[in-house]
Amino acid sequence: MSDKTILLLGTYDTKDPEMRYLEACIKDQGGQVLTMDVSVLGDPAAPTDISKHDVAASNGKTIDEIIALGDENKAFQAMAAGAAKLVSRAYAEGRFDGMLATGGTMGTDLALDCAQALPMGVPKYIVSTVSFSPLIPPHRLAADIQMILWAGGLYGMNDICRSALSQAAGAVLGAARAVVAIKSERPLIGMTSLGSSCLRYMKSLKPALEERGFDVAVFHSTGMGGMAFEKLAREGAFACVMDFCMQEFTNMLAGSLVSSGSDRLMNAGASGTPQMVAPGAIDLLDFAGWQDIPDQFADRPFHEHNRLIKSSVLDGSERRSAIREMATRLAAAKGPTHFFLPVKGVQAWDLVGEETYDPEALAEMVDEARQAMPARVDMTEVDAHINDAAFAEAVLARFDDWVAQGIVKAG
């Protein structure tokens, strides 16, 4: 009897030996497999559990119709849409516990959609010839995806290929066996922040909220963390959102690659989740550590955090623009929304004597928030810095009021 089943997904017409090797590795370790063929033109050496015809049909097409598209890219996008639907359905039916896909650029493109179709917490691995490549934009990555480079795996089996595939087989089966399921024993608060050197409210808010009977998940707002936060917010996973870190939002508006996507600050509102929002770090604009600062920001103060990330700052007019876009998105929220405005600063490096201190630009941001925030969004001005105790105290006071009113459901 096997304890876990792994979905094996790949193009069995061209990668049949590799897929069968993965199957043997998993079964040798006591696991079971559910096989899915996503090829278009050829056929596997032996039938798979889910055929390419099943995949095409899931997207309302036949394989002949997909071939008739006459374009490899269009054909694989059509197969990707069908595969993602089938993966989601098969997991909901309890047919597998983790996913392992293989691919070059085509197979990886399809596999990324399938990984996105699975809930967070489901082990999802891709063995790819383009793992860790800049060809893959961050928004295509499921928040908890794992990738293994398929070195030497472009064509045919070899010892290097077997090493990568066997590691992947062991990794996904081990993850499926070891993963602790995401439970909902206590209501969950979703909070955004940066490292505690920049924003420190989480240090007092998390224990205080836990004492009140809530679980608290703090998401690191450096792109991928924000994507995970937004995905869960979209799914209605949070009893309340405390979205107090906005530099991902600023990055998105400015086109920085350190972004969590164009839907930042929209999903909690769309799901009707009660949300508390503040402009923490909204003055920062992030760049990868290896990037040169663009000319338009070259004369700005900047904070070099480490070799991976560094931040320039927005001027007053840019901060006004960011606040206006925040207000527009919050105005569309379906649920209760409260905006906290810490008037003495929004991150650790904007204090007197720090690299990004700019009181005039801060004053412009504060003035714009007072003007732009819509009437449906309640606002509390806090005469303090965001890292001061007064900010956390104001948040807890409003949170307690929401619990008392039944806006936030206690456990």
Q: What's the pLDDT at 1? A: 42
Bridge partner list, 125: 100, 146
Cβ atoms within 10 Å of 304's Cβ, excluding its own: 12
Structure confidence by residue, pLDDT tens digits, 39-50: 999 999 999 999
Q: What's the pLDDT at 2? A: 60
Q: What's the pLDDT at 302? A: 80
Cα distance between residue 202 and residue 194, in whole Å = 9
CA-wise closest residue to 41 among 17, 63, 60, 71: 63
Residue ranges of the chain with per-residue pLDDT less than 70: 1-2
Q: Residue 69 is which amino acid?
A: L
Which domains are seen in the chain, by residue range? Answer: 5-178 (3.40.50.12020), 188-405 (3.40.50.12030)
Structure confidence by residue, pLDDT tens digits, 236-260: 999 999 999 999 999 999 988 888 8
Contacts of 240 by beta carbon, 8 Å cutoff, 6+ apart: 187, 189, 190, 214, 273, 274, 275, 276, 399, 402, 408
User: Contact 306/222 with Cβ under 8 angstroms?
Assistant: no
Bridge partner list, 103: 128
